[in-house]
Amino acid sequence: MRLMLCFPPAGAGASFFHPWIGQSSELTVHPVELPGREKRFAEAPCESLPALINGLLPELLAQADDAEQIVVFGHSFGTLLAYETTRALLARAPGLDVTLVVSGAGVPGRRLADPVTGLPDDEFVARVRHIAGYHHPAWDEPELREMLLPALRADMRMYERYRPTGQQPLSCPILAVRGNADTLVAPDALDGWQRLTTGEFHRAEIDGGHMYLVEGWPTLLELVDRQLRPRQVSHG
């Protein structure tokens, strides 16, 4: 089995990836459930990245036990979670065959010019909309917005607090992807990911803007499958 662990953009939940499930004969898509949203809505959103990763790790390691290859995928804010999860997985189980796939983001640790933590709700939502280049219709419904805001605020707080730790580069392959019309992530922003691994590095572009994967996810799955296929053959 080739397992694909998926981390969503800020404020989103596992359902972001539900259309992907069962659509690839090669990849078993597993959206990661995060506290404070959807199935885990009753839990408080996590504002500490180390605590979040440590809480997720036992389940993800159990999932990895049945997988021959593992893809850890994140989009936008989700790249931060995917990157730190990959570090944690390889620290606990160095023998895992892992590929990190990052989408719509430069390397972790880039500071926002104007922090959003602490802004009033309306201004906060407007600023995040500008940063993310995407606005879900749920944010226009007052009751839904009130329910979703705690998770979004927690994600943005984690992002703004994150600082690179100077750890050693990863040893696994990294594939960095962006939409070819993305106005938020410049083409050369992907190149920074190459410095974060001693393994193979590849980059690619898919038609669309920052949120290209809302409609372009089938192309992304095909791209990931092609990226893994030569390595799968070599292990045979």
57-75 confidence digits (pLDDT tens): 999 999 998 899 999 999 9
Claim: this prediction has a pTM higher than 0.75: yes
SS3 233: helix
Res 167 pLDDT > 50: yes
- How far, in Å, CA of 4 to CA of 67, rounded? 10
**Mean pLDDT taken over the chain:** 90
Highest mean pLDDT among 104-108, 141-145, 217-221: 217-221
Element (H, E) at 54: helix 49-64
Q: What is the pLDDT of residue 233?
A: 44
Q: Which residues pair with 98 in a beta bridge?
A: 70
Highest mean pLDDT among 104-113, 164-173, 218-227: 218-227
Q: What is the pLDDT of residue 113?
A: 67
The answer to whether 217 and 20 have CB atoms below 8 angstroms apart is: yes
Sheet holding 174-179, edge to edge: 28-31, 2-7, 69-75, 98-103, 174-179, 201-206
Highest mean pLDDT among 116-120, 130-134, 162-166, 209-213: 209-213
Top pLDDT among 232 and 78 is at 78
Q: What is the pLDDT of residue 230?
A: 65
The answer to whether 179 and 207 have CB atoms below 8 angstroms apart is: yes
Element (H, E) at 219: helix 213-234
Give residue 219's identity as a one-letter amino acid code: T
Nearest CA to 102 among 84, 128, 89, 129? 84
- How far, in Å, CA of 21 to CA of 33, rounded? 14
177-234 confidence digits (pLDDT tens): 999 999 989 999 999 999 999 999 999 999 999 999 999 999 999 999 998 876 554 4
Q: Token pair of 180, please?
A: 């070819």
Q: What is the pLDDT of residue 166?
A: 66
Residue 235 pLDDT class (50, 70, 90 cuts): very low
- How far, in Å, CA of 236 to CA of 233, rounded? 5
Res 236 pLDDT > 70: no
Top pLDDT among 15 and 164 is at 15
12-60 confidence digits (pLDDT tens): 999 999 999 999 999 999 999 999 999 999 999 999 999 999 999 999 9
Give residue 162's identity as a one-letter amino acid code: Y
Q: What is the pLDDT of residue 118?
A: 86
By CB atoms closer than 10 A (0-12, 13-18, 19+), residue 85 is buried
Residue 163 pLDDT class (50, 70, 90 cuts): confident
